[in-house]
Amino acid sequence: MKNQIVASIAALPFALGTAFAGAEVANAAGLYGRIGFNGFFTNITLSEGELSFNPNPGDLIASVTTGNFVQFNAATIQGPLTFDGSGDSPFEVTSVTNPFLDLGTFGDSDTSDGVNTFALHSGSTITVTDSNGGAQIMLDLNGWFTDEFGHQTKGIGNITFQMAGVDAEYVEGIFDGTIQPIEATFSGEVIGEMKPVPEPTALFGLGVVTAGLVTSRRQKNS
């Protein structure tokens, strides 16, 4: 019986490694890495309680890519994003237009085909701060990437844009409707995060090994 217990203990590290390695492979699908972009062809429009784009949807150029985002060099972006602009920064986004980003290849129609997308979910905020010579606006992005096979990965990032010669109070005036809408250039980056989670079958395998170990111990003690 002692040998059986020792064998079970020896098998446990192997089972753990195999189970988690298998789980990682099972979750390896999906978009991951970084994709940076700029609105070379598209401006962002600031207005009362809203951010949108001109044109809408608008074309983006991918400036930096890592991971499997290297297959993309362009994207489309669409709005509007709405929020209550009557208060002070930060403003919580209350509604979005999804997919927010549609990734593809420059010059091809796949940048607006609804495949390889990034959708925004709750938790996005707009922050306005004073900066040297102007104001800076940052839109935090929280959501999920979906690849062409339907696999999803968590996505986080931001869009930033600056306005020269004005302060944060001026921008907040645009958002509360006391100042006329204005357009600005912007850039941004989004990260696709791979977070492998053990598959149920992998966890079941671990349970079989540990259960066998416990049973062996009980038999020895009885």
Instruction: Enter the tokens of residue 113.
Output: 């085909």
pLDDT score at 61: 94
pLDDT score at 199: 47
pLDDT score at 177: 97
Instruction: Specify the amino acid at residue 93.
Output: V
Q: Which of 207, 188, 185, 211 is nearest to 198 (CA)?
A: 207
DSSP of 145-195: EE-TTS-EEEEEEEEEEEEET--HHHHHHHHTTSS--EEE--EEEEEEEP-
pLDDT score at 110: 61
pLDDT score at 81: 96
pLDDT digits (tens, 9 = 90+) for 99-119: 999 999 987 766 778 899 999
Report strand pairing: 33-38 vs 187-193.
antiparallel
pLDDT score at 186: 96
Show me where the domains of the chain are located.
1-28+198-222, 29-195
Residue ranges in the chain modelled with pLDDT below 50:
2-3, 5-27, 196-218, 220
